[in-house]
C-alpha cells in the first residue's frame, strides 16, 4: 500500500511516493533525503550507500519497530545493540515500541556484532512479558498496538523486501533516545523544566550494583512529572541515559532520524494516548504484584541524618518500583515507642505520589520497638480496609538502626504464620563492645522464615544502604520465592470429586453441595491463591469446572450452587482417574494438590489403582463417606495415614460437623511439612 521512494543517484531529494493525496513536504538531510508527508517520513539514500549494503537498509540500534511502517522487511543492524539502553519489550513477540536490533539480539537471531535480520509485524498483544535472554533484559508491557517478530534473514521466495524503509513521522517534543520507558506507564513528554528520566526496575536490576545508589538514580518519571515540580539537576557522574543520541555521526548508518525529531515518543498509539490525562496512568508492574510495607526506624537514636538516608532509600524504592493497582503497592509504618501508619497500601497508588509522601515523613522519636511494630503490621496494616488485595503476597521490610529495644521473635513468628514475608535490613549492627546491650541476640535470624540470607541484609553503614536496593527489590518481586506467604489456605488447588449417584437423592445432593461450598469458603481464593475445581460422577464423569474457570470466592460459591444433580451409578475408581486427568493435570507445579472425594456408597469399580495413582502423583486425597459408604474403601482412597484423611458420617445432615476437622487436618499437615 505504501510506495517506497527509490534512491536517485543524482538528486538528494525527490518525491516518488503518492500517499493518499496528501501534500508532500520535502526536506533534505545531509546524509539522506527526508521527505515528510504529513505524518509519514520517507527516507531515501544515495545509490552508493545502497550498493554498499546490497540494497539492504541499515538502521541504528535505537530504531523502534513502530517507527517503520513496512509490514515485513530485512534490515542490517550495526554492532553493539546488546546495550540495555536499547529497550526491548516482550519475549519472542515484541511490542513495536522495542528496538528492532535489540529485540533481534534478545531473541538470539543476532549477536552483538550485528548483521541482517528479517522483521515481520504481527498483531498487538494484550501483554508482553520481559525476560533475560542472550545478554538482553527485556521489559514487560501490558498492551501495545502492534508487535513484531524477528528471524534470520532468509528471504522468502517471491517476496520482495523493501530496499528503503518507510518511517512514520513524529511530532512530539524533544525527548532523548536511548532510555527505556517505565514498563507500565505510557510515556508522555516531560513537563517543561524537568530533567525527567524514566527508569524501570529491570533497568536498575540490569545496572552494575555499584551504579545503583541514590546518587545515580535517575530522577522523576516523566509520566508523573507535574508542571510544578522543580527542575532537579543531574548530579555529576550521573549515568548517561542519553548515549543513544550519538547516532548522528555513526559511520555507515544509512538512515538518520531527522534532528529534533523524537524517537521515543513519536510512536504512541492513539488508544494509549487517550488514556493519558493529568492522572498518572501506570497500573503498576504486574511482574511485581506484592503488598509491601516498610517499617522504618523513627527512634531518637537514629538521628536526623540517618533518618534522612532512610527516607531517601524509601523514596528511591517507591520511584524504581512501578507502583500501581496491578503491580506493587506500598505503605509505610514508622516505629519508635509505638508504631504508626504513615500511609497504607491504598493511600498512594503510584510511584510519584508515594515518593512525595515519603519525602514529607517526619521523625517520631522514642525507643526502637520493632517487635511491637511487627505485631501492629500483622494485626492492622495488612487488613483489607488498608488495601490488602488478598491475591498478592504480603511483604514487610523492617529497617533497624542498630538493634531493637524489644523482642522480635514471637511477633515475627505470628506475622509469618499469618502469611507475611518478613525481610530484615539491619544497619550499623552492634559492635563487639555493644553486644551486651542487645536484648535478643541474632534477632534478625529469629525474625525471618529462613536464615539463608534471602530474607535478611546486614549493612555495615547507612552510607551503604542504597546498595541493598537492587537485591531487595529483586527478592520482594520474586513472588515465587516468597515461600513465607504460603499458608494452608492460600496455596492449594482443591478438586472436589462428587458422587452424583441415584442413592444420594436430590435433597441430599444439595447438602453435599453446601458442604463443598462450606469447605471452599474457608480458603483464600484467587488465581494466585487457592483454586477450586469440581467433578461429578456416576458411572460416568463430568467436569463441572476446572481450576482456572473461576478466580473469586463468590464465583466459586455460585458455581458450586449451580451444579446439577446427575443421578446414576457409582464408579468411584473411574472418577478418581478422571479427576487426575481432567483436573489435576492442569494444576500448577507450585500448588498443593488436594482431592476431596465425597461418596455415599461402595464403588462399582476398583478404586485401588486410581487411588494409588493419585497418591503417587502427590495428590493429597481426602475421602468423605456418608451413610452406605464403605469405610475400608474410604481408607484405600485416602492418603496415608488414612485416619487423618478419611471421614465417615452416618447421615448427610451430619456432614457439616466434619468441615472444621477437615480444614484443621489440611492445615496441620501443611504446617508439618518442611517449607523451603
Ligand atoms: C454450611 O454452612 C452453613 C452456614 O454456616 C450451615 O448452616 C450448614 O449447616 C453447613 N452445611 C454443611 C453441609 O456443611
**Ligand 1, pocket residues at CB < 6 Å:** 511, 514-515, 518, 655-656, 659
- Provide the pLDDT for residue 181: 53
Asked if 170 and 265 count as a contact pair (C-beta separation under 8 A), the reply is yes
Give the CA count within 13 Å in the CB-facing half-sphere of 446.
Answer: 16
- Provide the pLDDT for residue 237: 29
Does the pLDDT of residue 539 top 90, yes or no? yes
More confident residue, 318 or 480: 318
Give the number of the atom of ligand 1 that is nearest the alpha carbon of residue 518. Answer: 1
Fold match, 286-485 / 492-671: yes
Average pLDDT, the chain: 78
Does the pLDDT of residue 229 top 90, yes or no? no
Q: What angle do CA 42, 45, 46 make, to 5 degrees?
A: 150
Q: What does the pLDDT look like over 407-454, one tens digit per residue?
A: 999 899 888 877 789 999 999 988 888 888 888 888 988 888 777 788
Compute how many other C-beta atoms are within 10 angstroms of the C-beta atom of residue 182. Answer: 26
Per CATH, the architecture of 286-485 is what?
3-Layer(aba) Sandwich (3.40)
User: Residue whose CA is closest, atom 2 of ligand 1?
Assistant: 518
Give the number of the atom of ligand 1 that is nearest the alpha carbon of residue 511. Answer: 13
Mean per-residue pLDDT, 134-141? 85
For the ranges 68-72, 444-448, 472-476, 514-518, the one whose mean pLDDT is highest: 514-518
CA of residue 649 to ligand 1 center, whole Å: 15
Distance CA(520)–CA(62), nearest Å, equals 52
- What strand order describes the sheet that includes 329-335? 339-343, 329-335, 291-297, 394-401, 420-427, 456-459
CA of residue 436 to ligand 1 center, whole Å: 56
Strand partners, 34: 27, 43
Helix-strand-coil split of the chain, %, nearest 5: 30, 20, 50
Q: Which of 38, 39, 52, 41 is nearest to 9 (CA)?
A: 52
Give the number of the atom of ligand 1 that is nearest the alpha carbon of residue 653. Answer: 13
DSSP 285: -
Mean per-residue pLDDT, 384-392? 82
Compute how many other C-beta atoms are within 10 angstroms of the C-beta atom of residue 48. Answer: 9
Q: Which of 454, 450, 432 is nearest to 441 (CA)?
A: 432
Q: What angle do CA 211, 216, 222 make, to 5 degrees?
A: 125
- Provide the pLDDT for residue 35: 39
| Widest Cα–Cα separation across the chain | 98
Q: 35-49, 285-299, 581-595: which has the minimum mean pLDDT? A: 35-49
Cite the DSSP H helix spans in 207-279.
Answer: 270-274
Does the pLDDT of residue 306 top 60, yes or no? yes
Helix (H, G, I), strand (E, B) or coil at 73: strand
Give 274's pLDDT tier (boundaries 50, 70, 90).
very low
pLDDT over 70, % of the chain:
74
- Provide the pLDDT for residue 180: 63
Q: Which of 373, 345, 343 is nearest to 356 (CA)?
A: 343
Distance CA(602)–CA(502), nearest Å, equals 13
Task: Give me the sign of the Cα torsion angle 537, 541, 542, 545.
Answer: positive
Distance CA(171)–CA(550), nearest Å, equals 45
CA of residue 173 to ligand 1 center, whole Å: 64
CA of residue 272 to ligand 1 center, whole Å: 49
- Provide the pLDDT for residue 435: 84
Please state, in angstroms and as integers, the Cα–Cα distance from residue 273 to each residue in 265, 277, 360, 565, following that order. 11, 9, 32, 51
Distance CA(406)–CA(371), nearest Å, equals 6
Mean per-residue pLDDT, 401-406? 92
Please state, in angstroms and as integers, the Cα–Cα distance from residue 447 to each residue in 205, 301, 409, 580, 673, following that order. 27, 22, 5, 39, 20
Give the number of the atom of ligand 1 that is nearest the alpha carbon of residue 659. Answer: 14
pLDDT over 90, % of the chain:
50
Mutate to test the pocket of ligand 1, among 498, 512, 514, 657 (most ligand atoms within 8 A of CB): 514
CATH 3.40.50.410 correct for 492-671: yes
User: Residue whose CA is closest, atom 10 of ligand 1?
Assistant: 656
User: Residue whose CA is closest, atom 14 of ligand 1?
Assistant: 656
Give the number of the atom of ligand 1 that is nearest the alpha carbon of residue 657. Answer: 14
Mean per-residue pLDDT, 270-276? 37
Give the number of the atom of ligand 1 that is nearest the alpha carbon of residue 519. Answer: 14
Compute how many other C-beta atoms are within 10 angstroms of the C-beta atom of residue 165. Answer: 25
Element (H, E) at 397: strand 394-401
Give 655's pLDDT tier (boundaries 50, 70, 90).
very high
Element (H, E) at 269: none
Strands 115-123 and 72-77: antiparallel
Element (H, E) at 518: helix 506-521
- Provide the pLDDT for residue 393: 84
What ranges do the domains of the chain cover?
2-53, 55-184+220-281, 286-485, 492-671
CA of residue 661 to ligand 1 center, whole Å: 14
Q: 65-74, 78-87, 663-672: which has the minimum mean pLDDT? A: 663-672
Q: 131-140, 495-504, 534-543: which has the minimum mean pLDDT? A: 131-140
Helix (H, G, I), strand (E, B) or coil at 357: helix
Asked if 516 and 560 count as a contact pair (C-beta separation under 8 A), the reply is yes
Cell numbers describing residue 100: 528492532
Does the pLDDT of residue 51 top 90, yes or no? no
Mean per-residue pLDDT, 516-540? 93
Which residue do the cell numbers 538482553 mark?
136
Does the pLDDT of residue 221 top 80, yes or no? no
Q: Which one of 3.40.140.10, 3.20.20.10, 2.170.130.20, 3.40.91.10 gives the CATH number of domain 55-184+220-281?
A: 2.170.130.20
Distance CA(354)–CA(332), nearest Å, equals 10
- Provide the pLDDT for residue 482: 76
Does the pLDDT of residue 321 top 50, yes or no? yes
Mean per-residue pLDDT, 92-111? 92
- Provide the pLDDT for residue 85: 85
Does the pLDDT of residue 535 top 60, yes or no? yes
More confident residue, 44 or 366: 366
Cell numbers describing residue 430: 552492634
Amino acid at each position: 500500500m505504501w510506495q517506497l521512494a527509490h534512491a536517485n543517484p543524482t538528486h538528494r531529494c525527490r518525491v516518488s511516493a503518492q500517499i493518499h493525496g496528501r501534500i508532500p513536504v520535502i526536506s533534505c538531510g545531509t546524509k539522506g533525503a527526508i521527505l515528510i508527508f504529513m505524518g509519514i517520513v520517507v527516507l531515501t539514500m544515495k545509490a552508493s550507500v545502497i550498493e554498499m549494503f546490497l540494497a539492504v537498509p541499515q538502521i541504528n540500534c535505537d530504531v523502534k519497530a513502530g517507527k517503520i511502517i513496512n509490514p515485513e522487511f530485512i534490515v542490517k543492524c550495526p554492532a553493539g545493540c546488546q546495550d540495555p539502553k536499547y529497550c526491548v519489550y516482550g519475549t519472542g513477540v515484541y511490542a513495536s515500541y522495542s528496538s528492532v536490533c535489540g529485540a533481534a539480539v534478545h531473541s538470539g537471531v543476532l549477536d552483538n556484532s550485528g548483521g541482517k535480520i528479517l522483521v515481520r509485524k504481527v498483531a498487538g498483544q494484550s501483554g508482553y512479558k520481559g525476560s533475560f535472554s542472550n545478554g538482553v533484559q527485556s521489559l514487560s508491557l501490558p498492551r501495545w498496538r502492534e508487535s513484531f517478530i524477528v528471524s534470520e534473514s532468509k528471504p522468502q521466495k517471491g517476496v520482495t523486501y523493501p530496499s528503503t524503509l518507510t518511517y512514520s513521522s513524529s511530532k512530539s517534543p524533544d525527548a532523548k533516545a536511548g532510555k527505556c520507558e517505565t514498563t507500565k506507564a505510557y510515556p508522555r513528554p516531560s513537563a517543561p523544566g524537568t530533567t525527567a528520566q524514566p527508569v524501570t526496575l529491570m533497568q536498575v536490576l540490569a545496572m552494575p550494583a555499584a551504579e545503583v545508589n541514590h546518587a545515580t538514580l535517575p530522577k522523576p518519571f516523566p509520566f508523573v512529572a507535574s508542571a510544578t515540580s522543580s527542575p532537579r539537576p543531574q548530579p555529576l557522574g550521573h549515568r548517561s541515559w542519553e548515549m543513544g543520541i550519538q547516532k548522528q555521526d555513526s559511520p555507515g548508518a544509512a538512515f538518520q532520524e531527522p534532528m529534533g525529531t523524537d524517537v521515543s515518543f513519536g510512536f504512541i498509539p492513539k488508544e494509549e494516548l487517550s488514556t493519558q490525562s493529568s492522572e498518572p496512568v501506570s497500573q503498576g508492574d504486574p511482574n511485581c504484584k506484592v503488598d509491601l510495607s516498610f517499617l522504618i526506624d523513627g527512634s531518637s537514636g537514629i538521628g536526623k541524618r540517618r533518618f534522612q538516608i532512610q527516607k531517601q532509600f524509601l523514596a528511591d524504592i517507591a520511584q524504581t518500583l512501578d507502583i500501581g493497582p496491578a503491580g506493587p503497592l506500598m505503605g509505610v509504618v514508622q516505629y519508635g515507642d509505638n508504631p504508626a501508619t504513615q500511609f497504607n497500601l491504598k493511600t498512594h497508588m503510584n510511584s510519584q505520589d508515594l515518593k512525595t509522601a515519603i519525602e514529607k515523613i517526619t521523625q517520631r522519636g522514642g525507643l526502637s520497638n520493632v517487635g511491637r511494630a511487627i505485631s501492629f503490621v500483622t494485626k492492622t496494616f495488612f487488613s483489607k480496609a488498608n488495601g490488602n488485595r488478598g491475591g498478592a503476597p504480603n511483604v514487610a521490610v523492617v529497617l533497624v538502626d542498630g538493634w531493637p529495644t524489644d523482642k522480635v521473635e514471637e511477633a515475627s513468628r505470628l506475622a509469618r504464620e499469618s502469611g507475611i514475608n518478613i525481610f530484615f535490613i539491619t544497619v550499623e549492627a552492634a559492635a563487639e563492645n555493644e553486644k551486651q546491650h542487645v536484648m535478643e541476640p541474632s534477632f534478625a535470624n529469629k525474625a525471618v522464615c529462613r536464615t539463608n540470607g534471602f530474607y535478611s541484609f546486614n549493612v555495615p553503614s547507612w552510607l551503604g544502604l542504597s546498595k541493598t536496593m537492587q537485591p531487595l527489590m529483586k527478592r520482594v518481586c520474586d513472588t515465587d520465592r516468597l515461600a513465607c506467604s504460603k499458608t494452608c489456605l492460600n496455596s492449594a488447588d482443591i478438586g472436589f470429586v462428587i458422587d452424583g449417584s441415584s442413592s444420594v437423592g436430590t435433597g441430599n445432593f444439595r447438602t453435599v453441595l453446601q458442604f463443598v461450598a462450606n469447605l471452599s469458603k474457608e480458603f483464600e481464593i484467587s488465581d494466585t491463591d487457592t483454586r477450586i475445581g469440581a467433578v461429578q460422577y456416576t458411572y460416568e464423569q463430568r467436569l463441572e469446572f476446572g481450576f482456572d474457570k473461576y478466580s473469586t470466592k463468590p464465583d466459586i460459591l455460585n458455581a458450586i450452587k449451580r451444579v446439577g444433580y446427575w443421578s446414576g451409578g457409582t464408579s468411584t475408581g473411574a472418577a478418581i482417574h478422571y479427576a487426575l486427568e481432567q483436573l489435576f493435570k492442569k494444576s500448577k507445579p507450585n500448588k498443593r494438590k488436594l482431592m476431596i472425594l465425597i461418596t455415599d456408597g461402595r464403588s462399582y469399580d476398583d478404586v485401588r489403582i486410581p487411588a494409588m495413582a493419585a497418591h503417587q502423583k502427590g495428590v493429597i486425597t481426602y475421602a468423605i463417606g456418608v451413610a452406605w459408604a464403605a469405610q475400608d474403601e474410604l481408607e484405600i482412597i485416602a492418603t496415608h495415614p488414612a485416619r487423618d484423611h478419611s471421614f465417615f458420617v452416618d447421615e448427610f445432615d451430619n456432614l457439616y460437623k466434619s468441615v472444621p476437622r477437615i480444614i484443621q487436618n489440611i492445615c496441620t499437615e501443611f504446617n508439618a511439612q518442611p517449607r523451603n
